[in-house]
Amino acid sequence: MNRLLLHTAEELHGLPRAGRRAVVMTMGALHEGHATLIRTAREKAGPGGQVVVTVFVNPLQFGPNEDLDRYPRTLDADLRIAEGAGAEAVFAPAVDEVYPGGDPQVRISAGPMGERLEGATRPGHFDGMLTVVAKLLHLTRPDLALFGQKDAQQLALIRRMVTDLNFPVEVVGVPTVREEDGLALSSRNRYLSPAERHTALALSRALFAGQDRLAAQAALRARAEASPASDERATALARLGEIRASADAHAVSAAGGGLPDAVRAAALHVLEEAGRHEPPLVLDYLALVDPQDFTEAGPGFTGQAVLAVAAKVGATRLIDNIPLEFGAHS
């Protein structure tokens, strides 16, 4: 038996601990993204601390037509990755260990935020996710819990639950890990054929196009605002030989939706092109949202935002997002 591996709550509660305990919750099929979470947990727990990784494919967060049975289960490989990244224990319980009475009658409700974006596409998903996260927090009793920012809405809901229900744990978000071609690491990437993977790259390209649009417009505004009056900005840019930027300034002004709409438009253009690929990308949603409640960012939005996308390529559904910062003049 692997010395890292624990299957029951009794074994977990008998695990000696000293210093801070950090937990990384997974559904298995570990990859470099999970390894990054575990290494970050190891660093934050400190030399005297402890890292516990949970591996549990939670049936509550899969819908009737989703891939619960198809979801990869690779526990032996998961143990090697977890140990190599610095975990002291892997808690991999059976379903009846987590839900000893069958499906729980009392569950956590994700509320209005849980009904948006992913929640609208996957009804009940976030209720099931929060229920198992709450149970695993009680079982593992950590000081820190680390989650990937790739699942931005999940992370936001966990933060909300921990705050609203007074869980004594610090939630830490860890930036998305990407492959060299930009595709966000996911256990579902293994389902993609080479042609499907090529199409799937449009998700990250779309997000970076939106990010570039934001950066370009911020630079454009900074230069244009050197003009003494707002109606002279496009003319000033033209005099500098920036004809394309000048035209862009006129177009953004005429659009009336502000920079958030321009960011969405830049990302959507990439996704629409991918919809004509073979195989095509089938868009579920593209949204620019306030990370506090996942409502859409309006024309005058300022502060942190999340540009999020979900789409299907073949039979595989993928999600991705990037954080953006909108200044006072966005």
User: Nearest Cα to 14, choosing from 43, 42, 52?
Assistant: 52
What is the DSSP code string of 101-153? Answer: TSS-SS----TGGGGSTHHHHSTTHHHHHHHHHHHHHHHH--SEEEEETTSHH
What SS3 state is found at 50? strand
Residue at token pair 């890990």: 177
Contact 329, 222 (CB under 8 A): no
Contact 302, 193 (CB under 8 A): no
What SS3 state is found at 59? helix
Could you give the CA distance from residue 93 to residue 104 in angstroms, rounded to a whole number? 16
Contact 55, 71 (CB under 8 A): no
Active-site residue, from 34, 125, 198, 277: 34
| Known catalytic residue at 125 | no
Residue at token pair 């494919």: 57
Q: Encoding tokens for residue 280?
A: 């095509």
First to last CA, the chain: 57
Could you give the CA distance from residue 56 to residue 111 in angstroms, rounded to a whole number? 24
Residues taking part in catalysis:
34
